[in-house]
Structure 1
Amino acid sequence: MLPELALVPGEPAGIGPELCIRLIQQPRTDCRLLAFADPVTLRAAATALSLPLQLLPEEAHACRPGDLRLRAIPNATTSQFGMADPRNASAVIDALLGAGQACLDGSLEGVVTGPVHKAVINEGGIAYSGTTELLADQAGVRVVMMLANPIVRVALATTHLPLRAVADAITADTLEHALRTLHAALLLEFGIARPRIAVLGLNPHAGEDGHLGREELDLMIPLLQRLRGEGMELIGPLPADTAFLPAKLAGFDSVLAMYHDQGLPVLKYSGFEQAVNLTLGLPYPRVAVDHGTALDLAGRGIADPSSLQAATTLCAQLARQRRLTT
């Protein structure tokens, strides 16, 4: 039986809806998709692309190119390509929460999400820092962000913080939570029997034995030693400037970076088109595209669907693996 996944296009004025239309032009053999979206927006995207679209009831069997099962989440106002409207913020949030709740209820097994425009959501009167945080709050769990492509998986100990605030945010609690969550996800969702995790140092040269900062000596090394005693295979703390060399990456299943721009530039340089964003620690897999709403590209038929395709494929794989391990 194929995994049942939610598909949420995201910002209706951006490229998300048309990427979803491109995604369904070949029948999937790895999962069944249920879209949480505004039907008018989807039809407008299909018309702009001159591609077929047949919106079906939730219980239908989608088998032809262009078939898409739908749970309708109507927009407050008609969306125009490239012109995000704060009045539609509630519909975007309702679609995301509806997809998450369906997974919590057990009717669906994973969520694939398109790009969301944070500023427009907040302009619509909804306090929103990101889909990662939204779904974590809904599920009542702490989560870890990971970005991945076919070359490397990079998880983050901290996410969207000013650089000045990063060092204070690296505590024994936050670092242990990130490592335990990452380790559990590699076991449960990726099916890796003995995950090997490379842990990057916070400071240049991983602190240079305390000469360039003491976080590695005082915090990181004692914690890594304790977790190794529980059986985790943790390598580091490693200097970030050499940890991503191909010969070293071959020995790791994932890298834990201490902050956003320590790990993600390498990942995006090595394969941005195939990169995806995962939320680790939810009771279901959630995979998102690793790009923005691209309002300037919306409706022009030139947006690259590779990241959404990769996100859907990976979410289906993770859902199947969860079946085997739970």
Structure 2
Amino acid sequence: MRASVAEVLDGQADLRRTHEVMVGEKGYDPLLHELLTAELGLLGLVVPEHLGGLGLDVPAATAVIEELGARLVPGALATSLTAILAARALGPSAEPLLARVVDEQLTLAVALAEDGAGWDLEQTATRATGAGDEWALTGTKTLVAGAEAARVVLVTARNPGGELGVYAVDRAADGVDVRTHMTLDQTRRLSTVHLRGAAASRVDAPGAEGARVLLDHVRAMLALESAAAARACLDITVDYLKVREQFGRPIGSFQALKHRCADLAVAVAGARATADHLVTTLRTGAATRSHDAALAKLVCADTLMTVAAEAIQLHGGIGFTFEHHAHLFFKRGKSAQLLAGSPTAVRAEVAALAGL
């Protein structure tokens, strides 16, 4: 699966193409999205077979997320696969949504953050009124990745009893207003989603802690993307050091630069190991999911920031230009650090989960 997706992306979504797409009106490539979803069937990868999917295990989806992250591909495919993995983890209550994903080729976005509350689930203010299969949501969600290309948004909201749950809202439904913004990371547009009595269906079962499952999987997505992007950024930098000459020899032969690259390689290997451990946690359903997802997000995002910052320096003057790819990795690293909880907040959460 990884090889098939990588082959398509290498031909249709290299970083030069990302430069073109990210400044376009849509912010993503609809033709590439159609190729990956309709022709390769990526939305059904981990959907159970009895719901019409391929029934593959978690690593199939995480491999695709990594390949997308390595190339900084804009769009809603990574968020869709993340939401599908989360829905699968929720069990039977999410099966109607997963069946719709396959039947209608639905792309998904995840809406967790709110003004004033940030990513703190305990402070969620969006309200859900109704019962059974009929709910109406009112509130505003911010920093929603992938909403510009999504057809359904998974929203966290509180019912009249104060219980936090996960609800699916069709973007085209009455009472849904999505405003997409260009942000620091031009490869990942973020949206504000206003809900005014928008019709919704509940995805998680009462008491299932679905909101927590959703947050953990968003952090997992950021970790997987960041680890892969850090590796890609380092590879690009090393390739440049091999051909850029100074004093009649490749600058990569200078010992000082070798040491810097070696340090980066160690950091990238650590991020890769952390991400791999997280994939195992998601696949096995281990009780350490929240801790492992938060820790991986911290380690991998910080690694990407370090590698991207060094890449700009090691490329010299060309690394500071808009036309070069280095700033794309740097901006993706910063957005990964801030999304799904700031580094300070997530570190405190990791410490609490570890009992420190």
Give me the TM-score of the superposition, normalised by structure 2. 0.26
**Which is bigger in relative contact order (C-alpha 8 A, separation at least 6)?**
1
